[in-house]
Amino acid sequence: MKTLSTGASQPMMTRVEDPATASVDLQELELRGATKSSETRRAAVDLFDRYGLCWRRSAIQGELLQRCRDASEERLHRCLSEVKRRGKPALERGTDNGYAEIVARAPGRYDMLYGTDVAPFDEAPLRGETPWRPLVDELLGGEATLLFCGLLMTLGGAAEQPWHTDGEHLFGPEVPTLPPHCLNVFVPLVDITPEIGGTELCPGSHHLTRGVPGIYEQSSEHMRTIGWRGRPLPLEIPAGSALLFDYRLLHRGLANRTDRVRPILYFTFCRPWFRDMHNFPGRRLFGPNSG
Ligand SMILES: O=C(O)CCC(=O)C(=O)O
């Protein structure tokens, strides 16, 4: 892919001919202008169309990052202690083995909604006029609804995860790729380095995941099944950046080769009519109706 210099804050890119061989680097996917500007919003739509992702640095900063880090570890500790206190088996991989508040996505990888509806996660810089909101609104047709606010907690020593998408296309392969109906905003709470292991993404793969049964289940076969032969993109971005990616994009979490937990705060936004059927079960860990 070529980048043409326009002299403006956004690079202008030529079309990717074949999403199966997409190869792009983080620099080309970075939005640098104000996210409210129509030029930046248009650039986000264009990058989503081609690659299914884009990102912005410095979306949240400073002491809020530290408070989110501390709170994320405290919430994880509370969930895991509650499982033990109630004499339940340790959380095993998969939605069916988890709770509405927390699911293990792989050994040492937890996806947690618990305690994200209160401080610091409900504060204005995360829920009000955030830098990602104008992009989300533009990408989702102006009426985006928050579906989940959660934390991906990857423990030190966790192995890499198999490939998967977070959701399916709305229709089968007979319908061309539609604009996004659901997307994630990932905000890493620590710097993402090769050692701590970021999310690895297959740019353009959202055009190839249409109508593939079980594409949201983890499998090492998905890349071959969909015929994607591009260059996987490991996400190495500073703490407080915001990565936006399409729910239908193939991705996985890389191994955490440190002895520290890797917390990622995330927001899942969708068009108002969309319901997610796969990611969290109904049974509760906390409260009077806990199961
Ligand atoms: O932790 C990551 O980087 C991605 C995790 C993920 O995709 C998942 O748990 O479904």
For the chain, give the mean pLDDT.
Answer: 93
Residue 252 lies in a domain: yes
Residue 283 maps to a domain: no
Run of H or E residues at 13: strand 12-13
How far is the centre of ligand 1, averaged over its atoms, from the C-alpha of 253 (Å)? 5
With respect to residue 88, please indicate whether it lies within any of the assigned structural domains. yes
Contact between residue 171 and residue 215 where contact means Cβ atoms under 8 Å apart: no
In the predicted model, what is the mean pLDDT of residues 171-198?
Answer: 96
What's the pTM? Answer: 0.93
* Contact call for residues 22 and 52 (beta carbons, < 8 A): no
| Residue 263: per-residue pLDDT | 98
Residue 45 lies in a domain: yes
Share of the chain above pLDDT 90, in %: 90
Amino acid at 28: E
Q: Report pLDDT for 288.
A: 76
| Mean pLDDT within 98-109 | 97
* Residue 11, in any domain of the structure: no
| 111 CB within 6 A, ligand 1 | yes
Task: Tell whether 275 is covered by a domain.
Answer: no
Query: How far apart (Å, rounded) are the C-alpha atoms in residues 24 and 8?
Result: 20
Tens of pLDDT, residues 130-164: 999 999 999 999 989 999 999 999 999 999 999 99
For residue 159, give Cα distances in angstroms to 106, 156, 208. Answer: 8, 9, 26
Pocket test residue of 91, 187, 215, 251 for ligand 1, highest count of atoms within 8 A of CB: 251
- The answer as to whether 284 is a domain residue is no
pLDDT at position 191 over 50: yes
CATH of the domain at 246: 2.60.120.620
Query: CA 156, CA 152: separation in Å to the nearest integer?
Result: 13
In this predicted structure, the answer to whether residue 65 has a pLDDT above a threshold of 90 is yes
Cβ–ligand 1 distance for 154 under 6 Å, the answer yes
Ligand 1 atom 10: residue of nearest CA:
105
Write the residue with the smallest CA distance to atom 2 of ligand 1. Answer: 253
Contact between residue 41 and residue 35 where contact means Cβ atoms under 8 Å apart? yes
Domain interval for residue 234: 21-270
The domain total for the chain is: 1
Q: Is 199 in the pocket of ligand 1 (CB under 6 A)?
A: yes
Q: Does ligand 1 have an atom closer than 6 angstroms to the CB of 151? A: no
Is residue 7, in this structure, part of any structural domain at all? no
